[in-house]
Amino acid sequence: MLWSFLFLNLSDKVKYVFIKERMFEVVKPFSAIQRNTYLDEMQQEELDLLVIGGGITGAGIALDASVRGLSTGLIEMQDFAAGTSSRSTKLVHGGLRYLKQFEVKLVAEVGKERAIVYENAPHVTSPEWMLLPIMKGGTFGKLSTSVGLKAYDKLAGVKRNERRSMLNKKTTLEKAPLLRKEGLKGSGIYVEYKTDDARLTLEIMKEAVHRGTKATNYTKAESLLYNEAGKVIGAKVKDLVTGKTFDIKAKRVVNAAGPWVDDLREIDGSKKGKFLYLTKGVHLVIDQSRFPLKQAVYFDTEDDGRMVFAIPRDGKTYVGTTDTYYDGRIASPRMTQEDLDYILDAANYMFPSLKLEEKDVESSWAGLRPLIHEEGKSASEISRKDETFISDSGLISIAGGKLTGYRKMAQRIVDMVAKDVGVKGKCTTDKIVLSGGDVGGSNGLESFKKEQIKVGMDLGLDKKEAEKLVKLYGSNVKRVFEIMETSGEEAKHFHMPKSLYASLVYGLEEEMTTTPLDFFNRRTASLFFDIHWVKEWKVQVVNYMAYRLHWTSEQRDRYVEELEREMAYAMNPEEKVNA
């Protein structure tokens, strides 16, 4: 109280110094304020491993390598997860539909991985019952759905209480009353896991950093370094924030650049044989007031029989995805009018009473699948399994795969690298709890949440706000609450609610939030699931970040322009924004 009183009565200049002091106190290992230090450190030693790409694949590799004791660096040219890893369907799943293509091994591996991801990061992964309607003339009949789901349960080693069951038409409609009644014969129901792909990637990244990885975002590998024997020994890197370039040396270099994997293979002169085939997937977000879906549904489209998800989340329903060949700018795939119409048509077919229109779409995202080209196959038919390429120079490239299978992909790569650099030790990441996941395992999650929501409410938050923070940060919410508790009147000074202020400070100091878009997209997912909140608070967030990160006015304008642009593309088809 006294502190608050004194703070409020200080002049603005003194307040500034006061807050600045706090900034000097806080030196955390993954702070946007300390980016330069990490970059300096990476230049000073020869690393065992340099990972290029901070999506889930790169983050997983860095974590496994650091756990095994390899000195590891990771560079990401955008924000962590800004590539495909923030643009997926956001499911940790076995990929039921791949059974249709007899991808038994893939389904078994990623299916089993679901349980591990859930146990190690229950705060970002939650079970979601998925309903598979059986329609007259649809892809699956009653028998094939029942057999398919049973095979899925077996292959993925699904827990007894999460195994599939079959429902008749009446019970199906009780669960999902919005479903099309005409032609509906019943359904199968089974469990998938919902996640926040970007936050899952970040939690892996943070865990890797806590275990020794040096990592920075906005750091691009512009070219590769070679020794006289033509072996790759590092990368020439550009810090896209300061414009400085420097070399990072490493015994092994892994190219985990997702849709950009072939760009680096080209730089390495090793893009031969198999190559990437990029397909675009779009999702739309609609408010629950217009699409009040309570039960996730995975259904056939009327047009081409592809399968589409409709999933309730945080007061919204999201629907997707498309799957079309893409050869545009990799960094910025956009929703087109055709994508939007395709998804709305699919949703209106399966949920005919809704009569959804373009104006109901609040937000959207588009991502690129880095698939491996297969002659004569359409986008949906190409396998989702991962492949590793090792070039003559020793560059290790990994592409394809699924978010869900990240840990196994990492294990394969690090097994190889560890052997090469002479580090013994097996992969143990199946037992490593990710950052924020220290909540007593999946069984402990509910009581942890209850307890922490109470802590948040005692700090003056309403239940909804407290719940939001606990869900977002898992066990790290304790740190977020600590910031709230110790920051006195700072939030008020920057005209923000305390919960937003604490999230932002935590993001800057402990999650390397470097731009406003990092915060609104990859740190909080609000660009997709709460775009009104972004509109409400963007000015305050920009002001605070500009102050903490000492932006020039040019930097500030650039970041504001980037946020406005991405908001426009999230809310509208590309053609309308470009018109």
Q: Which residues bind ligand FAD (CB under 6 A)?
A: 52-58, 75-78, 82-85, 87-91, 93, 220-221, 256-260, 264, 281, 321, 367-369, 401-404
Measured CA to CA in angstroms, residue 563 lies from 71, 201, 339, 525, 534 at distances of: 35, 21, 22, 13, 10
Provide the minimum distance between the beta carbon of 193 and ligand FAD in the complex, in angstroms, as a whole number.
9
- Considering beta carbons, is residue 324 or 543 the nearer one to ligand FAD? 324
What's the min distance (Å) between Cβ of 331 and ligand FAD? 7
Q: Which is nearer to ligand FAD, 321 or 499 (CB)?
A: 321
Distance CA 42, CA 109 (A): 34
Q: How far is the CB of 277 from ligand FAD (least distance, A)?
A: 12
- Nearer to ligand FAD by Cβ, of 146 and 393: the residue is 393
Which of 56, 178 has the CB closer to ligand FAD? 56
Residue 57 or residue 442: which is nearer to ligand FAD going by CB? 57
- Alpha-carbon span 71 to 559, nearest angstrom: 33
CB nearer ligand FAD, residue 83 or residue 122: 83
> Minimum Å distance from CB 468 to ligand FAD?
23
Give the nearer residue to ligand FAD in terms of CB position, either 50 or 466. Answer: 50
233-237 long-range Cβ contacts below 8 angstroms, 24+ apart: 234/46, 234/50, 235/50, 235/52, 235/75, 237/75
d(CA 354, CA 361): 13
Min. distance of Cβ 256 from ligand FAD in angstroms?
Answer: 6
Of the pair 501, 569, the CB lying nearest ligand FAD is at: 569
Cβ neighbours around 229 below 10 Å, total: 8
Confirm if 216 and 248 have CB atoms less than 8 A apart: no
- Distance in angstroms (rounded) separating the CA atoms of residues 96 and 109: 12
CB-CB contact of 470 with 446 (8 Å) = no
Q: Find the shortest distance in angstroms from Cβ 75 to ligand FAD.
A: 5
Q: Which of 150, 195, 406, 142 is nearest to 311 (CA)?
A: 195
89 vs 435, beta carbon nearer ligand FAD: 89
- Residues β-bridged to residue 324: 280
CB-based contacts of 449: which residues, under 8 Å, 6+ apart? Answer: 439, 467, 470, 471
Ordered DSSP codes for 278-313 = EEEEEEEEEETTTS---SEEEEE-TTT--EEEEEEE
SS (H, E, C) 477-509: HHHHHHHHHHCCCHHHHCCCCHHHHHHHHHHHH
Nearest distance from residue 201's CB to ligand FAD, in Å? 7
CB of 368 to ligand FAD, least distance (A): 6
Residue 53 beta carbon to ligand FAD: minimum distance, rounded to whole angstroms = 3
Helices (H), 383-524: 406-421, 441-458, 463-473, 477-486, 490-493, 498-510, 516-517
Q: How many residues does the chain have?
A: 579
- Cβ-based nearer residue to ligand FAD, 321 or 572: 321
DSSP state of 269: T
**Whether 82 contacts 223, CB under 8 Å:** no
Judge contact between 81 and 197, C-beta under 8 A. yes
Closest separation in Å from C-beta 533 to ligand FAD: 24
